[in-house]
Amino acid sequence: MIRELITQKKIENASRMPDFTKIKTGVNEKAGRRKKRTAGADPEVPDDVYRKCSCCGKPLLNRDVRENFYRCPKCGGYFRVHARRRVEMIADPGSFEEFDSRMETVNPLGFPGYEEKLRDQREKTGLDEAVICGSCTIGGEKAVLCVMDNRFIMSSMGYNVGEKLTRAIEHSTEEKLPLIIYCCSGGARMQEGIVSLMQMAKTSEALKLHREKGLLYISMLTNPTMGGVTASFAMLGDVILAEPEALIGFAGPRVIEQTIGEKLPEGFQRSEFLLQHGFVDMIVERPEQKAVIAKLIRAHDMKAGRRRFARITGAELSESLKASAAFADASADNASIPDENGAESRAKVKAASRTEKSAETGHKAGVSASSKLSAWDKVRLSRSGDRPRATDYIELLFSDFTELHGDRAYGDDSAVVGGVAFFHGLPVTVIAEQKGKNTKDNLKRNFGMPKPEGYRKALRLMKEAEVFGRPVICFVDTPGAYPGISSEERGQGEAIARCIYELSGLKVPVLSIVISEGGSGGALALGVANRVWMMENATYSILSPEGFASILYKDAKKAAEASELMKITAEDLLSLGVIDAVIPEPESYNCESMDEAGAEIDRRMEAFLKEAMAKSGEELRSERYQRFRDF
DSSP symbols for 88-107 = HHHSPTT--EEE--------
Q: How far apart are the first and last CA of the chain?
A: 65
Q: In DSSP terms, which residues pair with 296 in a beta bridge?
A: none
Sign, CA torsion 543/547/552/553: positive
* pLDDT tens digits, one per residue of 311-326: 998 877 655 555 554 4
The pLDDT score that the predictor gives to residue 77 is 87
pLDDT the model gives residue 600? 96
| Tens-place pLDDT, residues 569-606 | 999 999 999 999 999 999 899 999 999 999 999 999 99
Distance CA 400, CA 135 (A): 26
Give me the percent of the chain exceeding a pLDDT of 70. Answer: 84
Instruction: Using the predicted structure, report yes or no on whether residue 327 has a pLDDT greater than 50.
Output: no
How sure is the predictor about 417, in pLDDT bands with cuts at 50, 70 and 90? Answer: very high
Residue 516: which of 382, 377, 375, 374 has the closest Cα?
382
Average pLDDT over every residue of 259-282: 96
Q: Name the strand (E) or helix (H) holding 218.
A: strand 217-226
Distance CA 70, CA 81 (A): 7
Read off the pLDDT of residues 200-240 as tens digits, 9 standing for 90 and up: 999 999 999 999 999 999 999 999 999 999 999 999 999 99
Rounded to 5 degrees, what are φ and ψ at 183? -90, 140
Greater confidence (455 vs 15) lies with 455
- DSSP state letter for 427: E
pTM of the shown model: 0.87
| Three-class DSSP category at 76 | coil
DSSP state of 201: H
Tens digits of residue pLDDT in 35-86: 333 333 334 445 567 777 878 888 888 888 888 998 988 888 888 899 999 9
Angle between helices 302-313 and 595-612 (to 10 degrees): 120
Q: pLDDT confidence of 367, banded at 50, 70, 90?
A: very low
CA distances in angstroms from 385 to 314, 363, 424, 616, listed in the order given: 38, 25, 30, 41
- Please determine, for residue 29, whether its predicted confidence score (pLDDT) is greater than 50: no
- Position 247 scores a pLDDT of 96
Per-residue confidence (pLDDT) for residue 17, from 0 to 100: 54
- All domains of the chain in start order, with CATH: 2-16+80-299 (3.90.226.10), 18-77 (no CATH), 302-336 (no CATH), 382-629 (3.90.226.10)
Q: Which residues of 478-513 are buried (b: 16+ CB within 10 A; e: fewer)?
A: bbbbbeeeebeebebeebbebbbebbeebebbbbbb
Q: Using N-to-C axis directions, what is the helix angle for 617-629 and 492-505, rounded to 10°?
A: 120
